[in-house]
Amino acid sequence: MAERQHEAARLAVVVGALGVVFGDLGTSPLYTLQTVFSPDDPHPVPVSQRNVYGVVSLVFWSVTVIVTVTYVLLAMRADNEGEGGIMALITLLRRGKAKRGRRTALVLVALGIFGASLFFGDSMITPAISVLSAVEGLKVVEPSLHEAVVPITAAIIVVLFLVQHRGTAAVGRVFGPVMILWFTVIGACGINGIVDHPSILKALSPTYALGFLFGHFGTSFFALASVVLAVTGAEALYADMGHFGRRSITRAWALLVLPALVLSYFGQGALVLADEHNVSSPFFLLVPHWGRLPMVFLATAATVIASQAVITGAFSVASQAAQLGYLPRLRIAHTSESTIGQIYVPLVNWLLMVSVLTLIFAFRSSTALAAAYGMAVTATIAITTLLFFYVARTKWGRPLWLVVTGATVLLVIDLLFVAATLTKLIHGAWLPLLIGLCVFTVMTTWQRGRQMVTRERAEREGSLREFVEELRHSPTPVLQVPGTAVFLNRDKRTTPLAMRANVEHNHVRHDQVVILSIETKPVPRVPEADRILIDDLGYSDDGIIHVTARYGYMESLDVPGALAALDPARTEGPLDLGEASYFLSKIELHRGPANELRPWRKRLFIATSYITADAAEHFSLPRERTIIMGSNIEV
C-alpha cells in the first residue's frame, strides 16, 4: 500500500513537471518552422526540398544537443541541494575555488551572474510573447476582436500572477493534464503528416543538418536565429529542477515531451514538402479541418501555461541569489512539504507582473517582441555550458581531454546560436541584454556593498567570548536589571551590536541574556529533540547563554516558541518569556568617503537595502516587546 502511494506521488510530480517545466519548450512547434520560412523574416529561408530536410534536421539535432545532452544529461547533474539553474553552478564554483584557479573562478562566477541576470530578462519577455501569441489567435476566428487582444492578454497575465502564491505544485496539477493532452495531440497530428510523406524521416540523419549548415552557410546562419525558438525554455527546465526533481523532469522529457516535439516538427516538414504554401501555418494545417478551432483553444491554453516555467524559474534563481549574497534577504514562502525547491517569492512575482504588463502595452503584438526572443536564452545556454565543464574539471576531476572535447563541441554550437541572434540586435534583441545588464548591476553592487558592510560590522561587533569575559571582569559597574533579554545574531562568533550598545552606552544588562542564532536545515521539519543547541560560552553562572535554533525549510520561524521549549535546568532557571525583550541590530547605511564603490553604486546599494524582508515579522517577534537598536555604517 505504501509503495503504491509512493508511486502515485511520483506520478503526480511528473504530471506537475509537465504543467510547469515544459510549457515554453512544448509550445515551440507553434511558430518555429513557420518563422524559419516566413517571408516576413528579414532573412527567410527559401522553400525547397533540400532546405526543408536541412531545417527539420537542424531543429531536431539542436533540440537533441542543447536540451537532451547539455541540460538533461549533463547540467542537471550539477545541483545545489537539489536546486538547479545557473545559480547552482555558481554555488559549486564558489565552493570549489582552488588558489591557483581563483582568478579564473571569479571571472566565471561573474559571467554566471550575468547569465542569471539574462534569465530574468527572459522571465519578463516569455510570458508577454507567449500569452500575446495565444490571444492573437482570436483575430483568426473573428477579425473584429483585434482591439481586444491587448486587454485580454493583460487580464490573463494578472490572473496568472495572482495564483502563484498557491504554489507550483498546485499550479502544476491544473496545468499538467492540459499539457499531457497537448503533447498527445501534437504528436498524433505529427504522425498523420509523417504517414502521408514518410521520406521526411531521412532528416533524422545529422548529415542533412550539417549539409544545410555548411553547404549554405549564408542562409543557414541567419536561419539559426529562428531555429533557436525550438530550444527556448531549456534554461527554465534546469532552473525548475528544484521544484520537481531531476528524475521527474527527465522521465517526462524522455517519455512524452521529446517524442511529441519530434513528431510535430517532422509532420510539419512533411506537410511543407507536399505543398510549399503550407508554410504559412504548418502547425495548424497539420490538424484536420474539423479539429482546427478546438486546437486554437488548446494552443491558447498551452501558450498561457508556457509562461509558468520561467516564472517558477525566476523564483528559484532569486532565492539562490539571496542565499549567495547577491540579493537582500527576501520573503520566501515554501509551498511543498515534499520538495524543498517549491517556493513563492512575492517581491519577484509582483516585479515580473509589472514588467510583463509594461512589455505588453508597449509592444502590443507578439511580432514586435519576436526579435527580442532568444537573445537571453542563447547567451545563458552558452554560459551554462562553460560553467558546467569548468565544474566537471575542477570539482569532479573529470579527465582534461574529455572536458576539452565536450566543451569545444557544445560551445561551438552554442556560440553559433549567440552570433545568429546578435544579428537581430537592432530589431529588439537589445531589450533582454539591457534588462540583464540592469539586473547584473544590482546583483554585483549588492554583493560588493554587502562585503563592505559585513567587514565593518564584524570589526564593530568583536568576539562574543571576549566580550563576555570583559563583562565579567569589567572595572566599570554594569547594572543588572531583572528580566530576560533575547538578542538575535548571525552566529556565536561575534557580539550582537544591540547587546554591545546596551552595555557600553546604557551600562545595563538583564539577569538572563539569550543570544539566539537561527539555522535553517535542508529538510522540511526538524524534530523537537534536535531543535535547540545551548552553549554557556564558557561560564555556567553568569546568566548569558548562546542558543542555536534549528528549523526546517517548511517551518515558520518562531523565536518565542523555540525559547519556550528550553529546559530550565540548562538556562539557569526558567526564562520569563511573557515579559522578555527582544533586541534586533539594525544597520543604517549612509554614503561616506570610502572609494570602494562609485557614488551612483552607493546610492543603488542603499536603495536595494530597502527591499530586505522585515526581521520582526520574519522571526515572529512580538512587536510591542521588540527593540531595534540601530548602528550607522558608511559605504
Residue-wise pLDDT for 269-317, tens only, equals 999 988 888 887 788 888 888 887 888 788 878 877 777 767 877 887 7
Give the whole-angstrom CA distance, residue 521 versus residue 555.
10
Report which of 518, 496, 623 is spatially closest to residue 562, judged by C-alpha positions.
Answer: 518
Give the whole-angstrom CA distance, residue 306 versus residue 302.
6
Mean pLDDT confidence for 113-118: 85
452 within a domain of the structure (yes/no): no
Provide the grid cell at 57.
534536421
Enter the pTM of the model: 0.77
Give residue 56's pLDDT.
94
Residues 137 and 248 in one domain: yes
pLDDT of residue 102 exceeding 80, the answer is: no
Give residue 98's pLDDT.
47
444 within a domain of the structure (yes/no): no
Residues 349 and 490 in one domain: no
Residue 270's region, left for phi above 0, alpha for psi from -120 to 50, else beta, is alpha
The sign one gets for the Cα dihedral 134, 138, 140, 146 is negative
Give the whole-angstrom CA distance, residue 22 versus residue 600.
40
The sign one gets for the Cα dihedral 111, 114, 116, 122 is negative
DSSP assignment of 74-110? IGGG--BTTB-SHHHHHHHHHHT--GGGHHHHHHHHH
Give residue 412's pLDDT.
93
Residues 424 and 468 in one domain: no
Rounded alpha-carbon distances, angstroms, from residue 420 to 33, 111, 218, 221, 612? 16, 20, 11, 6, 40
Give the whole-angstrom CA distance, residue 38 versus residue 397.
47
pLDDT of residue 99 exceeding 50, the answer is: no
199 within a domain of the structure (yes/no): yes
Answer whether 249's CB lies under 8 Å from 339's CB: no
608 within a domain of the structure (yes/no): yes
DSSP assignment of 554-601? TS---HHHHHHTS-GGGTTS---TTS-EEEEEEEEEE--S--SS-HHH
Report which of 62, 119, 61 is spatially closest to residue 89, judged by C-alpha positions.
Answer: 119
Residues 245 and 108 in one domain: yes
> 114 Cβ partners below 8 Å, 6+ apart?
383, 436, 440
Residues 381 and 335 in one domain: yes
Provide the grid cell at 490.
548571525
Mean pLDDT confidence for 513-538: 78
Give the whole-angstrom CA distance, residue 97 versus residue 110.
14
Q: Domain boundary at 403, 428, 453, which?
A: 428
Give residue 499's pLDDT.
86
170 within a domain of the structure (yes/no): yes
Q: Tens of pLDDT along 619-635?
A: 778 888 888 877 777 76
Q: Tens of pLDDT along 536-547?
A: 777 666 778 888
Q: Domain boundary at 381, 411, 428, which?
A: 428
Residues 403 and 482 in one domain: no
Q: Tens of pLDDT along 57-92?
A: 999 999 999 999 999 999 888 877 677 777 778 777
Q: Domain boundary at 428, 445, 476, which?
A: 428
pLDDT of residue 394 exceeding 90, the answer is: no
Give residue 70's pLDDT.
93
408 within a domain of the structure (yes/no): yes
> 338 Cβ partners below 8 Å, 6+ apart?
9, 524
- With pLDDT > 90 as the criterion, what percentage of the chain qualifies? 17
**What DSSP character marks residue 240?**
T
Domain count, the chain: 2
Q: 325-334, 381-390, 484-493: which has the minimum mean pLDDT?
A: 325-334
Residues 380 and 312 in one domain: yes
Residues 380 and 481 in one domain: no
> 492 Cβ partners below 8 Å, 6+ apart?
464, 515, 517, 535, 537, 546, 548
Residues 414 and 467 in one domain: no
What percentage of the chain's residues is helix, strand, coil (to nearest 5)? 70, 10, 20
Residues 384 and 522 in one domain: no
Rounded alpha-carbon distances, angstroms, from residue 126 to 161, 239, 324, 432? 14, 15, 26, 11
Q: Tell me, what CATH number does 222's domain have?
A: 1.20.1740
Higher confidence at residue 5 or residue 206?
Answer: 206
458 within a domain of the structure (yes/no): no
Residues 471 and 400 in one domain: no
| Domain housing 384 | 2-428
Residues 34 and 164 in one domain: yes
Burial code (b: 16+ CB inside 10 Å, e: under 16) for 145-175 equals eeeebbebbbebbeebbeebeebbbbbbbeb
pLDDT of residue 218 exceeding 60, the answer is: yes
Answer whether 149's CB lies under 8 Å from 167's CB: no
Q: Tens of pLDDT along 442-462?
A: 999 998 888 888 888 777 878
561 within a domain of the structure (yes/no): yes
Higher confidence at residue 174 or residue 108?
Answer: 108
